[in-house]
Structure 1
Amino acid sequence: MGTCLKAQLAKQGQTLRRVAAIAFLAAMGSGWAQTPSTFNPTDAETVAFTEIAFGLQHPWAVAFLPNGEYLVAQQEGVMRVVDANGRVGAPILGIPEVAFSGQGGLLDVVLDRDFDANRQLYFCFAKADASSGGNRTTTALASAKLNERQDRLEQVQTLFQQSPSVRSDQHFGCRIAQAHDNSLFLTLGERFIARDQAQRTTNHLGSIVRLQTDGSAYRDNPFFDKRGGLPETWSWGHRNPLGAVITPDGELWTHEAGPQGGDEINHIRGGGNYGWPIMTYGHHVGARKSSGQGMEAPVHYWRDEIAPSGLTYLSSDRYGPDWQNSFFLGSMAHGALIRLKIDNDKVIEEDWLTVAPGHGVRDVRQGPDGFLYVLIDGEDGRLLRIEPPELPQAQAPVQASGDADAKTDASTPAVGDAGIQPEPAEPAPAVISPDTPGAAPVMDEPAAEPSAAPAVLEPSPSESTAEQAAAAESGPEASAQ
């Protein structure tokens, strides 16, 4: 028997064992759909890719222009067009001021479903609250038109702002998904210091909102014409959702980072309470529960931290039947793509694909050509196209940048751009005044406000990405940006 055939059979055996283990755990569950991941990251396969562009500074999101070019949002507050040959353009003019600190900045960008006709796009960002002198920030959603020359945003309009503003530079959420009816879903983090507010429907902290394209609340929202919640709210009980996608059947799926593990993927339903901070599989919260009455369990979760970011659904057949109709999410902690095939809210397949060890996968999207595109975070960020497994041997994985400002002393733990941003320990519940109609309460600053996002740090030659994440977890909590 040839070596290649033996390797193929061994791979098939590993896949079958993983599928059987997932099915067994699902069958033994308490009636909930949740299943824990049983995948060992050391079994991840290297994936083939083509580098489209490099030199992108902390790219956060990519959208696909109709002329075969790419629109990339960079966290420091810059959008650039990357042409089909990989040339990175000058900063696009007209971007509003963003609060670039910690996990904040210019974050997601998506094109309107009718962009070819209207040149409309949507983006979300961390915005300073002028009424607080800039000391508090919020997550904002804006619309704009990209001019024909693709060098300026015009008719920029803020459609929505998360309420209340908070004195924190963490957990902004900020992923956008446009549904088939053109409504906009926006994920919102609980801003870290205010985790208990995620259980309140009278603010936007730790929630997903559903809006019309003019920023008004969608009429089918749970509290649109009912008491008990804000009209924009679609679901709540979220921690920091950094991935969102609408599947071909019109369903909304998101994932979110847990507290030192317990990262999860969720099938989002209107009016659902997704449990945070009462229900979590993370390691950090001492009084955690694995279930909560009237709360939605995750479809799947990871006991150890993967730091998920970016989420897409592969509907194309570019990669063959095994990958078709699978979810793909990025791991900031492992520099990998994670493939999940889900049937009836149960994960039946899970595979890991190593893309950029030592770096974070910030975004993954299916392009109009049916291929998967990935953004690698960092001072020298990359845009990659994932190639089908049957194509020639994969290129070498992305290597750590050699830039002088990306280096670190060997005695300093390499925490930053392995994809994990250090955070302070989970705070005590924030004290907030009772919500009153028409008034947006604000929250006081914690004793030690988290510092700004660190520069990219090269992983130590003797230290793996997983070890860096573990080292970060042993001290203050580490969470995906």
Structure 2
Amino acid sequence: MFRSLIAAAAILLSSGGAAIAQTPFGTEPVATFDRPWAVAPLPQGGFLVTEKAGRLVHVSETGERRAIEGTPKVRDSGQVGLLDVALAPDFTSSRQLYLTWVDGADGGALHLGRGRLDPDGVRLAGFNVIWRAAPTGGRGHPGAMIAFGPDGRLFLSSGDRQLGDPAQEPGDSRGKILRLTQDGAPAAGNPFPDAPEVWSLGHRNPYGLVFDPSGTLWSHEMGPRGGDELNVIEPGANYGWPLVSEGRRYSGLPIPDHDTRPEFVPPVIEWSPVITPAGMIHYDGATFPEWRGSLLIGGLASRALIRVEIADGAAHEAERWDMGHRIRDVAAGADGAVYLLEDGQGARLLRLTRDD
């Protein structure tokens, strides 16, 4: 079986770029895909993987692929298409799963849908749209990441679609993190009476969303030209986009920093140069015990796996490994195995291995 040893020096950027000890691990390819976006390990083994063109693929632990019928039609263009896949908290009994996508109608709106995966893993039954972004319009920047809170509520990131201003408009679902019921309705107890689905606002393009065991919600998002962010998400908080950022406009013109506007929540970590973060998990597995309690983040432009140590709402980058490919998503199996999903045509799902 193909096996490569990765032993790049990790860099602790948050303390001035000091090098720390190497941490070698190997990789084993599981399967290959056409422009995949997200991976969800199944509790009984195997995986579900979305491909941006609109395919949901069931993959066995040994790499056999089967396309799943019953998925929605999508608009495959640029950053949009079939996006995240997430299992319901009670998936073992209900077989319910959730997908996000952008379609070609209605101004290219972000959608959230739910259906039941049949026992053979080859078809989605009863698949329905349960939420749709409003207003519609914009390009790219869909967000579209799903996370379930400790209370079972569904959190959904919704990007600003390269429009900027909607991120500051509470009644507009773009540029927000939303808190919904598992049926897609606004959840009770959200902080904005006039925007009942909104949990936080002022986001650009949140591509990572995960709870840690304490119940803290973490999100990362891409900055414009510099200023990628890792944030702790609090109800009712405003994270400032597009009024503040640690990055600059693509034209090179400045944007005020967070410290000029104390009413906006600053990032816990900002990356300049950017890492272009994509995918994120909180890791507590047995395979890499030295990583327990860390966030593992994929990097697109950085072509890296990044480990962030967190404690009490604080965080710092601890290690970074050059993977030689853009990393679209990160996942962990129930046994603690770590999986990386590469980006682009011919992208691989990789299992990380260790030799000791």
| TM-score clears 0.5 | yes
Distance 1:365 1:200, change over 3 A: same
The one of 315, 323, 336 aligned to 1:370: 336
Structure 2: how far apart are the matches of 1:116 and 1:341? 31
Deviation readout 1:224-247 (Å, 9 max, x if unpaired): xx2xx3100000000000011111
- Counterpart residue identity of residue 180, structure 2: L
Tell whether 2:44 aligns with 1:79. no
Tell me which residue corresponds to 1:195: 164
Deviation readout 1:260-298 (Å, 9 max, x if unpaired): 211010110110101111121113252322322311111
Distance 1:363 1:40, change over 3 A: farther
The one of 318, 327, 336 aligned to 1:361: 327
Tell whether 2:136 aligns with 1:159. no
Offset of 1:213 from its aligned partner? 0.7
Give the SS at the match of 1:380: strand
The one of 94, 99, 106 aligned to 2:82: 106
Give the SS at the match of 2:258: coil
Deviation readout 1:313-352 (Å, 9 max, x if unpaired): 10123212x3111001000012210000012222245210
Tell me which residue corresponds to 1:177: 147
Tell whether 2:287 aligns with 1:318. yes
Give the SS at the match of 2:218: strand
Tell me which residue corresponds to 2:116: 145
Contact 2:35/2:347, CA 8 A, preserved across alignment: yes
The one of 185, 191, 194 aligned to 1:222: 191
Structure 1: how far apart are the matches of 2:17 and 2:90? 40
- Counterpart residue identity of residue 164, structure 1: P
Structure 2: how far apart are the matches of 1:310 and 1:183? 20
Offset of 1:259 from its aligned partner? 0.5
* Matched ranges for 1:5-44 at <5 A: 18=12, 22=15, 38-39=16-17
Tell whether 2:38 aligns with 1:48. no
Give the SS at the match of 1:310: strand
Tell me which residue corresponds to 1:450: none
Distance 1:44 1:272, change over 3 A: farther
Structure 1: how far apart are the matches of 2:17 and 2:62? 37
Tell me which residue corresponds to 1:456: none
From the two aligned structures, give the one with the greater helix fraction: 1
Normalising by structure 2, what TM-score?
0.91
Structure 2: how far apart are the matches of 1:41 and 1:331? 19
Structure 1: how far apart are the matches of 2:300 and 2:214? 28
Once superposed, what is the RMSD of the aligned Cα atoms? 2.2
Tell whether 2:228 aligns with 1:263. yes
Deviation readout 1:347-404 (Å, 9 max, x if unpaired): 245210122x1x310000121111211100121011111123xx16xxxxxxxxxxxx
The one of 22, 38, 46 aligned to 1:69: 46
Tell me which residue corresponds to 1:337: 305
Deviation readout 1:152-205 (Å, 9 max, x if unpaired): 111111111111110x3310010000112111000000000x202211101111
Structure 2: how far apart are the matches of 1:319 and 1:46? 11
Structure 2: how far apart are the matches of 1:42 and 1:317? 22
Unaligned ranges ≥5, structure 2: 1-6
Offset of 1:128 from its aligned partner? 3.1
- Counterpart residue identity of residue 28, structure 2: T
Offset of 1:40 from its aligned partner? 7.5
Tell me which residue corresponds to 1:398: none
Contact 2:244/2:257, CA 8 A, preserved across alignment: yes
Tell me which residue corresponds to 2:93: 117
Contact 2:97/2:115, CA 8 A, preserved across alignment: yes
Give the SS at the match of 1:213: coil
Give the SS at the match of 1:334: coil
Offset of 1:209 from its aligned partner? 0.5
Contact 2:53/2:81, CA 8 A, preserved across alignment: yes
Structure 2: how far apart are the matches of 1:65 and 1:182? 18
Contact 2:210/2:218, CA 8 A, preserved across alignment: yes
Tell me which residue corresponds to 2:4: none
Contact 1:338/1:351, CA 8 A, preserved across alignment: yes
- Counterpart residue identity of residue 195, structure 1: G
Deviation readout 1:410-430 (Å, 9 max, x if unpaired): xxxxxxxxxxxxxxxxxxxxx
Distance 1:349 1:330, change over 3 A: closer
Tell me which residue corresponds to 1:231: 196
Structure 2: how far apart are the matches of 1:287 and 1:169? 21
- Counterpart residue identity of residue 303, structure 1: S
- Counterpart residue identity of residue 243, structure 1: G
State the aligned residue count: 345
Distance 1:47 1:333, change over 3 A: farther
* Matched ranges for 1:457-476 at <5 A: none
Tell whether 2:188 aligns with 1:242. no
Unaligned ranges ≥5, structure 1: 1-7, 23-37, 131-135, 393-481
Offset of 1:61 from its aligned partner? 0.7
Distance 1:127 1:280, change over 3 A: same
Give the SS at the match of 2:167: helix
- Counterpart residue identity of residue 319, structure 1: F
Contact 2:142/2:205, CA 8 A, preserved across alignment: yes
Normalising by structure 1, what TM-score?
0.68
The one of 97, 102, 125 aligned to 2:73: 97
Structure 2: how far apart are the matches of 1:283 and 1:42? 30
Give the SS at the match of 2:92: helix
Structure 2: how far apart are the matches of 1:43 and 1:187? 35
Distance 1:39 1:45, change over 3 A: farther
Give the SS at the match of 1:117: helix
- Identity among equivalent positions (%) equals 36
Contact 1:277/1:288, CA 8 A, preserved across alignment: no
